[in-house]
Chains A and B, each alone.
Chain A
Protein backbone atom coordinates (compact mmCIF):
# COMPACT_ATOMS: atom_id res chain seq x y z
CA UNK A 1 0.00 0.00 0.00
CA UNK A 2 1.28 3.44 -0.88
CA UNK A 3 2.24 5.09 2.42
CA UNK A 4 2.89 8.55 0.94
CA UNK A 5 0.31 11.28 1.36
CA UNK A 6 -2.30 11.80 4.07
CA UNK A 7 -3.65 8.82 5.98
CA UNK A 8 -7.00 8.50 7.76
CA UNK A 9 -8.36 6.02 10.27
CA UNK A 10 -11.47 4.09 9.18
CA UNK A 11 -13.71 1.51 10.86
CA UNK A 12 -13.87 -2.01 9.48
CA UNK A 13 -16.84 -4.29 10.17
CA UNK A 14 -16.55 -8.02 9.61
CA UNK A 15 -19.48 -10.30 8.89
CA UNK A 16 -19.97 -14.08 8.83
CA UNK A 17 -16.81 -16.00 7.84
CA UNK A 18 -14.64 -12.87 7.78
CA UNK A 19 -15.47 -12.30 11.45
CA UNK A 20 -14.13 -15.76 12.27
CA UNK A 21 -10.99 -15.27 10.20
CA UNK A 22 -10.28 -11.77 11.55
CA UNK A 23 -11.23 -13.04 15.00
CA UNK A 24 -13.17 -9.84 15.74
CA UNK A 25 -16.44 -8.23 14.64
CA UNK A 26 -14.86 -4.79 14.19
CA UNK A 27 -11.52 -3.08 13.96
CA UNK A 28 -9.92 0.09 12.64
CA UNK A 29 -7.32 0.52 9.95
CA UNK A 30 -5.19 3.37 8.63
CA UNK A 31 -5.65 3.96 4.91
CA UNK A 32 -4.47 6.65 2.47
CA UNK A 33 -7.15 9.20 1.63
CA UNK A 34 -7.03 7.92 -1.91
CA UNK A 35 -6.40 4.29 -2.82
CA UNK A 36 -7.47 1.78 -5.47
CA UNK A 37 -9.96 -0.87 -4.40
CA UNK A 38 -7.45 -3.64 -5.21
CA UNK A 39 -4.82 -2.12 -2.94
CA UNK A 40 -7.40 -1.68 -0.21
CA UNK A 41 -8.59 -5.27 -0.56
CA UNK A 42 -5.04 -6.65 -0.49
CA UNK A 43 -4.28 -4.60 2.60
CA UNK A 44 -7.36 -5.88 4.44
CA UNK A 45 -6.73 -9.46 3.32
CA UNK A 46 -3.17 -9.51 4.61
CA UNK A 47 -3.86 -7.56 7.80
CA UNK A 48 -6.84 -9.68 8.84
CA UNK A 49 -6.01 -13.11 7.39
CA UNK A 50 -8.75 -13.19 4.76
CA UNK A 51 -6.78 -14.95 2.00
CA UNK A 52 -9.18 -17.89 1.69
CA UNK A 53 -12.16 -15.64 0.89
CA UNK A 54 -10.39 -12.84 -1.01
CA UNK A 55 -12.25 -13.44 -4.27
CA UNK A 56 -15.64 -14.15 -2.71
CA UNK A 57 -16.58 -11.15 -0.68
CA UNK A 58 -18.46 -7.91 -0.90
CA UNK A 59 -16.48 -4.90 0.16
CA UNK A 60 -18.70 -1.97 1.06
CA UNK A 61 -17.62 1.60 1.70
CA UNK A 62 -20.13 3.59 3.79
CA UNK A 63 -22.80 0.96 3.03
CA UNK A 64 -22.18 1.05 -0.73
CA UNK A 65 -20.78 -1.90 -2.66
CA UNK A 66 -17.40 -1.27 -4.27
CA UNK A 67 -18.27 -2.17 -7.85
CA UNK A 68 -14.96 -2.36 -9.49
CA UNK A 69 -11.58 -3.29 -8.10
CA UNK A 70 -9.86 -0.72 -10.32
CA UNK A 71 -11.96 2.11 -8.82
CA UNK A 72 -10.14 4.75 -6.79
CA UNK A 73 -11.70 5.22 -3.38
CA UNK A 74 -11.63 8.47 -1.43
CA UNK A 75 -11.60 8.14 2.35
CA UNK A 76 -12.44 10.55 5.12
CA UNK A 77 -11.61 10.06 8.77
CA UNK A 78 -14.21 7.78 10.43
CA UNK A 79 -15.52 6.21 7.20
CA UNK A 80 -16.87 2.70 7.46
CA UNK A 81 -15.80 -0.40 5.54
CA UNK A 82 -17.73 -3.65 5.65
CA UNK A 83 -16.37 -7.07 4.66
CA UNK A 84 -19.28 -9.30 3.68
CA UNK A 85 -18.74 -12.87 2.46
CA UNK A 86 -21.77 -14.79 1.19
CA UNK A 87 -23.70 -16.99 3.61
CA UNK A 88 -25.04 -20.20 2.17
CA UNK A 89 -26.73 -21.95 5.09
CA UNK A 90 -30.45 -22.26 5.58
Chain B
Protein backbone atom coordinates (compact mmCIF):
# COMPACT_ATOMS: atom_id res chain seq x y z
CA UNK B 1 0.00 0.00 0.00
CA UNK B 2 1.45 3.41 -0.99
CA UNK B 3 1.45 4.76 2.51
CA UNK B 4 3.32 7.94 1.74
CA UNK B 5 0.95 8.89 -1.10
CA UNK B 6 -2.10 8.67 1.16
CA UNK B 7 -0.41 10.67 3.87
CA UNK B 8 0.68 13.37 1.45
CA UNK B 9 -2.84 13.64 0.00
CA UNK B 10 -4.18 14.03 3.47
CA UNK B 11 -1.64 16.66 4.40
CA UNK B 12 -2.53 18.58 1.23
CA UNK B 13 -6.19 18.28 2.18
CA UNK B 14 -5.45 19.73 5.59
CA UNK B 15 -3.51 22.60 4.02
CA UNK B 16 -6.41 23.24 1.60
CA UNK B 17 -8.84 23.46 4.46
CA UNK B 18 -6.52 25.85 6.29
CA UNK B 19 -6.06 28.02 3.17
CA UNK B 20 -9.79 28.17 2.48
CA UNK B 21 -10.37 29.18 6.02
CA UNK B 22 -7.69 31.86 5.95
CA UNK B 23 -8.80 33.42 2.65
CA UNK B 24 -11.47 36.06 3.06
CA UNK B 25 -11.06 36.38 6.81
CA UNK B 26 -12.61 39.57 8.03
CA UNK B 27 -12.27 40.85 11.56
CA UNK B 28 -15.86 39.97 12.36
CA UNK B 29 -15.52 36.36 11.32
CA UNK B 30 -11.96 35.91 12.54
CA UNK B 31 -12.79 34.13 15.79
CA UNK B 32 -15.43 31.86 14.29
CA UNK B 33 -13.14 30.97 11.40
CA UNK B 34 -10.25 30.27 13.69
CA UNK B 35 -12.44 27.96 15.78
CA UNK B 36 -13.65 26.26 12.62
CA UNK B 37 -10.10 25.83 11.41
CA UNK B 38 -8.99 24.42 14.71
CA UNK B 39 -11.79 21.91 14.71
CA UNK B 40 -11.04 20.95 11.09
CA UNK B 41 -7.38 20.46 11.98
CA UNK B 42 -8.40 18.49 15.06
CA UNK B 43 -10.56 16.11 13.11
CA UNK B 44 -7.87 15.77 10.44
CA UNK B 45 -5.33 15.03 13.16
CA UNK B 46 -7.58 12.38 14.70
CA UNK B 47 -8.15 10.79 11.32
CA UNK B 48 -4.45 10.72 10.46
CA UNK B 49 -3.53 9.25 13.82
CA UNK B 50 -6.19 6.58 13.48
CA UNK B 51 -5.04 5.69 9.97
CA UNK B 52 -1.41 5.51 11.05
CA UNK B 53 -2.41 3.18 13.91
CA UNK B 54 -4.44 1.01 11.49
CA UNK B 55 -1.55 0.85 9.03
CA UNK B 56 0.86 -0.07 11.80
CA UNK B 57 -1.53 -2.81 12.93
CA UNK B 58 -1.83 -4.24 9.42
CA UNK B 59 1.96 -4.08 9.03
CA UNK B 60 2.29 -6.14 12.22
CA UNK B 61 -0.29 -8.59 10.88
CA UNK B 62 1.66 -9.02 7.63
CA UNK B 63 4.86 -9.62 9.58
CA UNK B 64 2.97 -12.18 11.64
CA UNK B 65 1.86 -13.98 8.45
CA UNK B 66 5.46 -14.03 7.26
CA UNK B 67 6.66 -15.47 10.58
CA UNK B 68 3.97 -18.15 10.48
CA UNK B 69 4.91 -19.06 6.93
CA UNK B 70 8.58 -19.36 7.88
CA UNK B 71 7.68 -21.36 10.99
CA UNK B 72 5.65 -23.83 8.97
CA UNK B 73 8.48 -24.20 6.41
CA UNK B 74 11.02 -24.86 9.16
CA UNK B 75 8.60 -27.25 10.90
CA UNK B 76 8.18 -29.19 7.65
CA UNK B 77 11.95 -29.36 7.22
CA UNK B 78 12.43 -30.57 10.78
CA UNK B 79 9.69 -33.17 10.41
CA UNK B 80 11.37 -34.42 7.25
CA UNK B 81 14.69 -34.72 9.10
CA UNK B 82 12.93 -36.62 11.85
CA UNK B 83 11.64 -39.13 9.33
CA UNK B 84 15.18 -39.63 8.09
CA UNK B 85 16.19 -40.45 11.62
CA UNK B 86 17.87 -37.27 12.79
CA UNK B 87 17.29 -36.36 16.43
CA UNK B 88 14.65 -33.75 16.94
CA UNK B 89 15.08 -31.80 20.11
CA UNK B 90 11.65 -31.57 21.65
CA UNK B 91 10.85 -28.94 24.29
CA UNK B 92 12.42 -30.08 27.52
CA UNK B 93 14.45 -32.68 25.64
CA UNK B 94 17.81 -31.71 27.17
CA UNK B 95 18.00 -32.32 30.90
CA UNK B 96 20.08 -29.72 32.68
CA UNK B 97 21.98 -31.02 35.68
CA UNK B 98 24.09 -27.93 36.43
CA UNK B 99 23.51 -24.21 36.71
CA UNK B 100 25.69 -21.90 34.61
CA UNK B 101 27.49 -18.94 36.17
CA UNK B 102 24.96 -16.71 34.50
CA UNK B 103 22.12 -18.71 36.12
CA UNK B 104 23.76 -18.33 39.52
CA UNK B 105 24.15 -14.57 39.15
CA UNK B 106 20.70 -14.09 37.66
CA UNK B 107 18.72 -16.21 40.12
CA UNK B 108 20.85 -15.60 43.22
CA UNK B 109 18.04 -14.03 45.25
CA UNK B 110 15.82 -17.08 44.90
CA UNK B 111 18.69 -19.61 44.99
CA UNK B 112 19.42 -18.61 48.58
CA UNK B 113 15.87 -19.45 49.64
CA UNK B 114 16.38 -22.56 51.80
CA UNK B 115 13.42 -24.52 50.36
CA UNK B 116 14.16 -23.53 46.78
CA UNK B 117 17.92 -23.76 46.27
CA UNK B 118 19.89 -25.18 43.36
CA UNK B 119 17.60 -28.20 43.02
CA UNK B 120 14.55 -25.95 42.76
CA UNK B 121 16.23 -23.80 40.12
CA UNK B 122 17.22 -26.88 38.11
CA UNK B 123 13.66 -28.21 38.27
CA UNK B 124 12.41 -24.86 36.94
CA UNK B 125 15.07 -24.83 34.23
CA UNK B 126 13.96 -28.30 33.09
CA UNK B 127 10.25 -27.51 33.30
CA UNK B 128 7.77 -26.54 30.64
CA UNK B 129 4.62 -24.57 31.31
CA UNK B 130 1.75 -23.93 28.92
CA UNK B 131 -0.07 -20.64 29.40
CA UNK B 132 -3.45 -20.49 27.71
CA UNK B 133 -4.53 -16.88 27.14
CA UNK B 134 -2.01 -14.03 26.93
CA UNK B 135 -4.32 -11.44 28.43
CA UNK B 136 -4.64 -9.85 31.85
CA UNK B 137 -3.79 -13.08 33.69
CA UNK B 138 -1.42 -14.67 31.17
CA UNK B 139 0.87 -11.62 30.86
CA UNK B 140 1.89 -11.31 34.54
CA UNK B 141 1.95 -15.11 34.96
CA UNK B 142 4.30 -15.51 31.98
CA UNK B 143 6.41 -12.58 33.14
CA UNK B 144 7.11 -14.11 36.57
CA UNK B 145 7.65 -17.61 35.19
CA UNK B 146 10.11 -16.43 32.54
CA UNK B 147 11.89 -14.17 35.01
CA UNK B 148 12.16 -16.98 37.58
CA UNK B 149 13.95 -19.17 35.06
CA UNK B 150 11.26 -21.53 33.77
CA UNK B 151 13.05 -23.27 30.89
CA UNK B 152 10.21 -23.60 28.40
CA UNK B 153 7.02 -21.64 28.02
CA UNK B 154 4.23 -22.33 25.56
CA UNK B 155 1.92 -19.40 24.86
CA UNK B 156 -1.57 -19.93 23.42
CA UNK B 157 -3.66 -17.05 22.10
CA UNK B 158 -5.57 -16.66 18.84
CA UNK B 159 -6.08 -12.92 19.31
CA UNK B 160 -4.17 -9.83 18.26
CA UNK B 161 -2.91 -6.94 20.36
CA UNK B 162 -5.18 -3.90 20.49
CA UNK B 163 -5.25 -0.67 22.46
CA UNK B 164 -7.92 -1.75 24.93
CA UNK B 165 -5.51 -4.47 26.13
CA UNK B 166 -2.73 -2.25 27.46
CA UNK B 167 -4.20 -1.31 30.84
CA UNK B 168 -3.91 -4.90 32.04
CA UNK B 169 -2.01 -6.96 29.46
CA UNK B 170 1.32 -5.55 30.41
CA UNK B 171 3.62 -7.47 28.05
CA UNK B 172 2.17 -5.88 24.93
CA UNK B 173 3.12 -2.45 23.67
CA UNK B 174 1.88 0.32 21.41
CA UNK B 175 4.17 -0.60 18.50
CA UNK B 176 2.96 -4.22 18.55
CA UNK B 177 -0.72 -3.42 17.92
CA UNK B 178 -2.11 -5.93 15.43
CA UNK B 179 0.61 -8.49 16.19
CA UNK B 180 -0.42 -11.89 17.54
CA UNK B 181 -0.57 -11.69 21.35
CA UNK B 182 1.55 -14.82 21.75
CA UNK B 183 4.25 -13.35 19.49
CA UNK B 184 4.12 -9.95 21.19
CA UNK B 185 4.46 -11.62 24.59
CA UNK B 186 7.38 -13.73 23.33
CA UNK B 187 9.29 -10.60 22.30
CA UNK B 188 8.73 -8.96 25.71
CA UNK B 189 9.57 -12.14 27.65
CA UNK B 190 12.79 -12.75 25.77
CA UNK B 191 13.92 -9.22 26.61
CA UNK B 192 13.30 -10.11 30.22
CA UNK B 193 15.04 -13.47 30.06
CA UNK B 194 16.72 -14.61 26.81
CA UNK B 195 17.32 -18.09 28.30
CA UNK B 196 13.63 -18.93 28.35
CA UNK B 197 12.62 -20.96 25.30
CA UNK B 198 9.26 -19.83 24.10
CA UNK B 199 6.91 -21.57 21.74
CA UNK B 200 3.98 -19.59 20.35
CA UNK B 201 0.68 -21.29 19.53
CA UNK B 202 -1.10 -18.41 17.80
CA UNK B 203 -4.41 -20.16 17.37
CA UNK B 204 -7.53 -20.99 19.23
CA UNK B 205 -7.53 -24.02 21.49
CA UNK B 206 -10.04 -26.54 20.08
CA UNK B 207 -10.99 -30.07 21.08
CA UNK B 208 -9.07 -31.34 18.03
CA UNK B 209 -5.76 -29.60 18.81
CA UNK B 210 -5.85 -29.33 22.63
CA UNK B 211 -4.43 -32.78 23.45
CA UNK B 212 -1.62 -32.34 20.94
CA UNK B 213 -0.65 -28.91 22.28
CA UNK B 214 -0.96 -29.71 26.00
CA UNK B 215 0.80 -33.09 25.91
CA UNK B 216 4.32 -31.65 25.77
CA UNK B 217 4.04 -29.54 28.94
CA UNK B 218 4.35 -30.29 32.66
CA UNK B 219 1.90 -27.73 34.02
CA UNK B 220 -0.95 -25.79 32.39
CA UNK B 221 -2.16 -22.30 33.35
CA UNK B 222 -5.77 -21.42 32.62
CA UNK B 223 -5.63 -17.70 31.89
CA UNK B 224 -8.60 -17.73 29.51
CA UNK B 225 -11.59 -15.44 29.37
CA UNK B 226 -14.48 -17.78 28.63
CA UNK B 227 -16.40 -20.74 30.04
CA UNK B 228 -16.15 -23.28 27.15
CA UNK B 229 -12.33 -23.10 27.11
CA UNK B 230 -12.27 -23.57 30.90
CA UNK B 231 -14.16 -26.88 30.58
CA UNK B 232 -12.03 -27.89 27.58
CA UNK B 233 -8.79 -27.25 29.47
CA UNK B 234 -9.98 -29.04 32.59
CA UNK B 235 -11.11 -32.13 30.66
CA UNK B 236 -7.91 -32.28 28.59
CA UNK B 237 -5.75 -31.88 31.71
CA UNK B 238 -7.59 -34.74 33.44
CA UNK B 239 -7.02 -36.98 30.40
CA UNK B 240 -3.33 -36.06 30.21
CA UNK B 241 -2.87 -35.96 33.98
CA UNK B 242 -1.54 -32.40 34.08
CA UNK B 243 -2.04 -30.01 37.00
CA UNK B 244 -4.14 -27.01 35.95
CA UNK B 245 -3.51 -23.70 37.68
CA UNK B 246 -6.77 -21.88 37.13
CA UNK B 247 -7.15 -18.13 37.57
CA UNK B 248 -9.98 -15.78 36.72
CA UNK B 249 -10.85 -12.14 37.30
CA UNK B 250 -13.63 -9.67 36.62
CA UNK B 251 -14.30 -6.17 37.87
CA UNK B 252 -12.62 -6.09 41.33
CA UNK B 253 -12.85 -9.85 41.97
CA UNK B 254 -10.46 -12.70 41.43
CA UNK B 255 -10.44 -16.47 41.94
CA UNK B 256 -7.60 -18.96 42.00
CA UNK B 257 -7.23 -22.71 42.52
CA UNK B 258 -5.21 -25.66 41.25
CA UNK B 259 -7.28 -28.42 39.65
CA UNK B 260 -6.32 -32.02 39.02
CA UNK B 261 -3.44 -32.02 41.50
CA UNK B 262 -3.08 -34.83 44.05
CA UNK B 263 -6.50 -35.84 45.29
CA UNK B 264 -7.87 -32.40 44.41
CA UNK B 265 -10.93 -31.94 42.21
CA UNK B 266 -11.22 -30.99 38.55
CA UNK B 267 -13.30 -28.04 37.31
CA UNK B 268 -16.29 -30.34 36.67
CA UNK B 269 -16.21 -31.68 40.25
CA UNK B 270 -16.91 -28.14 41.45
CA UNK B 271 -19.03 -26.86 38.57
CA UNK B 272 -20.67 -29.89 36.92
CA UNK B 273 -23.15 -27.67 35.10
CA UNK B 274 -22.05 -24.62 33.08
CA UNK B 275 -23.73 -21.33 33.98
CA UNK B 276 -26.43 -20.00 31.62
CA UNK B 277 -24.94 -17.52 29.09
CA UNK B 278 -26.90 -14.59 30.56
CA UNK B 279 -25.22 -15.13 33.95
CA UNK B 280 -21.73 -14.79 32.45
CA UNK B 281 -20.09 -11.38 32.10
CA UNK B 282 -16.82 -10.85 30.25
CA UNK B 283 -14.17 -8.19 30.86
CA UNK B 284 -15.26 -6.29 27.74
CA UNK B 285 -18.73 -5.76 29.21
CA UNK B 286 -18.16 -5.86 32.96
CA UNK B 287 -14.78 -4.16 33.07
CA UNK B 288 -11.76 -5.21 35.13
CA UNK B 289 -8.92 -3.41 36.89
CA UNK B 290 -5.42 -4.36 35.68
CA UNK B 291 -4.06 -4.62 39.20
CA UNK B 292 -6.72 -7.26 39.95
CA UNK B 293 -5.79 -9.51 37.00
CA UNK B 294 -2.15 -8.78 37.86
CA UNK B 295 -2.65 -10.01 41.44
CA UNK B 296 -4.24 -13.29 40.33
CA UNK B 297 -1.82 -13.81 37.40
CA UNK B 298 1.22 -13.36 39.65
CA UNK B 299 -0.24 -15.92 42.07
CA UNK B 300 -0.80 -18.37 39.19
CA UNK B 301 2.93 -18.15 38.49
CA UNK B 302 3.63 -18.78 42.19
CA UNK B 303 1.40 -21.89 42.29
CA UNK B 304 3.00 -23.22 39.09
CA UNK B 305 6.47 -22.75 40.61
CA UNK B 306 5.36 -24.59 43.78
CA UNK B 307 3.95 -27.46 41.71
CA UNK B 308 7.16 -27.73 39.65
CA UNK B 309 9.63 -27.38 42.52
CA UNK B 310 7.52 -29.31 45.02
CA UNK B 311 7.56 -26.74 47.81
CA UNK B 312 4.88 -25.33 50.09
CA UNK B 313 1.19 -26.20 50.15
CA UNK B 314 -0.23 -26.07 46.66
CA UNK B 315 -3.65 -24.41 46.44
CA UNK B 316 -5.46 -27.64 45.53
CA UNK B 317 -8.75 -28.51 47.25
CA UNK B 318 -8.99 -24.86 48.21
CA UNK B 319 -10.36 -21.88 46.33
CA UNK B 320 -8.82 -18.49 46.89
CA UNK B 321 -11.28 -15.65 46.56
CA UNK B 322 -9.88 -12.16 46.21
CA UNK B 323 -12.13 -9.19 46.76
CA UNK B 324 -10.07 -6.28 45.50
CA UNK B 325 -12.52 -3.64 46.68
CA UNK B 326 -12.01 -4.54 50.35
CA UNK B 327 -8.64 -6.26 49.79
CA UNK B 328 -9.81 -9.42 51.51
CA UNK B 329 -8.40 -12.83 50.57
CA UNK B 330 -10.47 -15.85 51.59
CA UNK B 331 -9.63 -19.51 51.33
CA UNK B 332 -12.63 -21.76 50.93
CA UNK B 333 -12.04 -25.46 51.48
CA UNK B 334 -13.55 -27.05 48.39
CA UNK B 335 -14.23 -30.73 47.93
CA UNK B 336 -11.80 -33.45 46.94
CA UNK B 337 -12.61 -35.38 43.76
CA UNK B 338 -16.37 -35.89 43.27
CA UNK B 339 -16.88 -39.68 43.40
CA UNK B 340 -19.33 -39.54 40.49
CA UNK B 341 -17.55 -36.84 38.47
CA UNK B 342 -18.24 -37.36 34.75
CA UNK B 343 -14.60 -36.67 34.02
CA UNK B 344 -12.12 -37.50 36.78
CA UNK B 345 -13.84 -40.29 38.73
CA UNK B 346 -12.82 -43.95 38.39
CA UNK B 347 -15.69 -44.54 35.93
CA UNK B 348 -15.82 -41.39 33.81
CA UNK B 349 -18.78 -40.89 31.48
CA UNK B 350 -16.77 -38.56 29.27
CA UNK B 351 -13.79 -40.29 27.69
CA UNK B 352 -12.93 -37.86 24.92
CA UNK B 353 -13.10 -34.12 24.39
CA UNK B 354 -16.53 -32.87 23.39
CA UNK B 355 -17.97 -29.78 21.70
CA UNK B 356 -17.59 -27.26 24.53
CA UNK B 357 -19.32 -24.36 22.81
CA UNK B 358 -22.39 -26.55 22.44
CA UNK B 359 -22.08 -27.92 25.98
CA UNK B 360 -21.97 -24.38 27.40
CA UNK B 361 -24.29 -22.78 24.86
CA UNK B 362 -21.81 -19.94 24.29
CA UNK B 363 -18.81 -19.01 22.18
CA UNK B 364 -15.23 -19.71 23.20
CA UNK B 365 -14.13 -16.09 22.82
CA UNK B 366 -14.84 -12.96 24.74
CA UNK B 367 -15.79 -11.26 21.48
CA UNK B 368 -19.37 -10.15 21.44
CA UNK B 369 -21.66 -11.80 19.03
CA UNK B 370 -24.59 -9.67 17.94
CA UNK B 371 -27.86 -10.55 19.63
CA UNK B 372 -30.89 -10.84 17.36
CA UNK B 373 -34.07 -10.40 19.34
CA UNK B 374 -35.86 -8.07 16.96
CA UNK B 375 -36.06 -8.27 13.17
CA UNK B 376 -34.01 -5.66 11.33
CA UNK B 377 -37.02 -3.97 9.70
CA UNK B 378 -38.29 -3.09 13.17
CA UNK B 379 -35.01 -1.41 14.06
CA UNK B 380 -33.21 1.73 12.89
CA UNK B 381 -29.85 2.04 11.21
CA UNK B 382 -27.74 4.91 12.55
CA UNK B 383 -28.03 6.57 9.11
CA UNK B 384 -31.86 6.46 9.21
CA UNK B 385 -31.86 7.90 12.70
CA UNK B 386 -29.42 10.63 11.71
CA UNK B 387 -31.34 11.52 8.53
CA UNK B 388 -34.96 11.18 9.57
CA UNK B 389 -35.31 11.43 13.34
CA UNK B 390 -32.42 13.23 15.00
CA UNK B 391 -33.59 16.74 14.06
CA UNK B 392 -37.24 16.08 15.03
CA UNK B 393 -38.69 15.89 18.55
CA UNK B 394 -38.06 12.42 19.93
CA UNK B 395 -37.01 10.67 23.12
CA UNK B 396 -33.49 9.21 22.91
CA UNK B 397 -32.78 6.75 25.74
CA UNK B 398 -29.25 5.45 26.27
CA UNK B 399 -29.53 2.19 28.25
CA UNK B 400 -25.84 1.78 29.13
CA UNK B 401 -24.59 1.89 32.72
CA UNK B 402 -23.96 5.37 34.10
CA UNK B 403 -20.18 4.87 34.18
CA UNK B 404 -20.28 4.10 30.45
CA UNK B 405 -22.63 6.99 29.69
CA UNK B 406 -20.10 9.31 31.31
CA UNK B 407 -17.43 8.20 28.82
CA UNK B 408 -19.36 9.51 25.81
CA UNK B 409 -22.93 10.19 24.81
CA UNK B 410 -25.02 11.53 21.95
CA UNK B 411 -26.51 15.00 22.40
CA UNK B 412 -30.10 14.87 23.72
CA UNK B 413 -29.63 11.34 25.07
CA UNK B 414 -31.15 10.55 28.47
CA UNK B 415 -29.37 7.86 30.45
CA UNK B 416 -31.63 5.11 31.78
CA UNK B 417 -29.53 2.00 32.54
CA UNK B 418 -31.09 -1.27 31.35
CA UNK B 419 -31.81 -2.44 34.92
CA UNK B 420 -34.00 0.63 35.46
CA UNK B 421 -35.90 -0.18 32.28
CA UNK B 422 -36.43 -3.78 33.35
CA UNK B 423 -37.58 -2.92 36.88
CA UNK B 424 -39.83 -0.12 35.54
CA UNK B 425 -38.22 2.56 37.70
CA UNK B 426 -37.76 4.66 34.53
CA UNK B 427 -41.51 5.32 34.55
CA UNK B 428 -41.07 7.78 37.40
CA UNK B 429 -38.64 9.87 35.37
CA UNK B 430 -40.06 9.55 31.90
CA UNK B 431 -43.70 8.67 32.52
CA UNK B 432 -44.90 12.17 31.54
CA UNK B 433 -43.03 12.19 28.23
CA UNK B 434 -44.18 8.69 27.42
CA UNK B 435 -47.84 9.72 27.67
CA UNK B 436 -47.41 11.29 24.22
CA UNK B 437 -48.04 8.44 21.77
CA UNK B 438 -46.76 10.50 18.85
CA UNK B 439 -43.30 10.99 20.32
CA UNK B 440 -40.89 8.50 18.74
CA UNK B 441 -38.80 6.60 21.30
CA UNK B 442 -35.28 5.56 20.25
CA UNK B 443 -33.15 3.30 22.44
CA UNK B 444 -29.44 2.84 22.09
CA UNK B 445 -26.49 1.19 23.78
CA UNK B 446 -22.85 0.43 22.99
CA UNK B 447 -23.26 -2.27 20.34
CA UNK B 448 -27.01 -2.65 19.83
CA UNK B 449 -27.59 -5.72 22.01
CA UNK B 450 -29.01 -4.41 25.31
CA UNK B 451 -31.08 -1.85 23.40
CA UNK B 452 -33.08 -4.75 21.88
CA UNK B 453 -33.92 -6.09 25.33
CA UNK B 454 -35.05 -2.60 26.30
CA UNK B 455 -37.22 -2.31 23.16
CA UNK B 456 -38.97 -5.58 23.96
CA UNK B 457 -39.71 -4.35 27.46
CA UNK B 458 -40.95 -0.92 26.37
CA UNK B 459 -43.12 -2.34 23.59
CA UNK B 460 -44.92 -4.55 26.08
CA UNK B 461 -45.73 -1.54 28.19
CA UNK B 462 -46.42 0.92 25.36
CA UNK B 463 -47.69 -1.25 22.48
CA UNK B 464 -48.96 1.67 20.37
CA UNK B 465 -45.81 3.81 20.61
CA UNK B 466 -43.14 3.97 17.92
CA UNK B 467 -40.24 2.26 19.73
CA UNK B 468 -37.00 1.50 17.87
CA UNK B 469 -33.37 0.88 18.70
CA UNK B 470 -30.15 1.66 16.83
CA UNK B 471 -28.56 -1.28 15.00
CA UNK B 472 -24.92 -1.55 16.02
CA UNK B 473 -25.33 1.12 18.73
CA UNK B 474 -22.63 3.72 19.32
CA UNK B 475 -20.01 1.60 17.55
CA UNK B 476 -22.05 1.96 14.35
CA UNK B 477 -22.41 5.69 15.06
CA UNK B 478 -18.62 6.07 15.07
CA UNK B 479 -18.03 4.00 11.96
CA UNK B 480 -20.92 5.36 9.84
CA UNK B 481 -21.74 8.86 11.09
CA UNK B 482 -19.10 10.52 13.24
CA UNK B 483 -15.53 9.15 13.15
CA UNK B 484 -14.59 11.49 16.01
CA UNK B 485 -17.01 9.83 18.41
CA UNK B 486 -14.92 7.74 20.84
CA UNK B 487 -15.00 3.94 20.81
CA UNK B 488 -14.42 1.83 23.89
Q: B-contacting residues of A (Cβ < 8 Å)? A: 15-17, 25, 52-53, 55-56, 58, 60, 63-65, 67, 82, 84-90
Q: Among A15, A56, A65, A87, point to the contact of B249 (Cβ < 8 A).
A: A87
The 3 closest A-B pairs by CB, nearest first: A89-B250, A87-B248, A56-B275
Interface of B is mostly: mixed
Interface of A is mostly: mixed
With both chains docked as a complex, state the minimum distance between the C-beta of B136 and any C-beta of chain A, in angstroms: 6
Known: A56-B273, A85-B275, A86-B271. A15 touches B321 (CB 8 A): yes
> In the assembled complex, which residues on chain A have CB atoms less than 8 Å from the CB atom of B276?
52-53, 56
**Are B279 and A58 in contact (CB-based, < 8 A)?**
no
Q: How far is the CA of A67 from the CA of B230 in the complex (A)?
A: 21
Q: How far is the CA of A88 from the CA of B293 in the complex (A)?
A: 12
User: Which of the candidate stretches B72-80, B281-289, B345-353, B392-400 sits at the interface with the other chain?
Assistant: B281-289
Nearest residue (CB) in A for B282 is A89
> In the assembled complex, which residues on chain A have CB atoms less than 8 Å from the CB atom of B381?
none
Q: List 10 A-B contacts (CB under 8 A).
A: A16-B251, A25-B326, A52-B279, A58-B270, A87-B250, A88-B227, A88-B230, A88-B280, A89-B248, A89-B286
**Are A16 and B330 in contact (CB-based, < 8 A)?**
no
Decide if B254 is an interface residue (CB 8 Å cutoff): yes
**Are B335 and A67 in contact (CB-based, < 8 A)?**
yes
Nearest residue (CB) in A for B330 is A63
Known: A16-B250, A55-B273, A58-B334. A90 touches B135 (CB 8 A): yes
Question: Which of A16, A25, A64, A88 has most chain B Cβ within 10 Å?
Answer: A88
243-280 of chain B: CB within 8 A of chain A = 247-251, 253-255, 270-271, 273-276, 278-280
User: Which of the candidate stretches B12-20, B180-188, B218-226 sits at the interface with the other chain?
Assistant: B218-226
Decide if B154 is an interface residue (CB 8 Å cutoff): no
Known: A56-B273, A84-B319, A89-B249. A64 touches B135 (CB 8 A): no
8 further A-B pairs in the complex, CB-CB below 8 A; given A86-B270, A90-B247: A52-B276, A65-B333, A84-B321, A86-B230, A86-B271, A89-B282, A90-B225, A90-B283
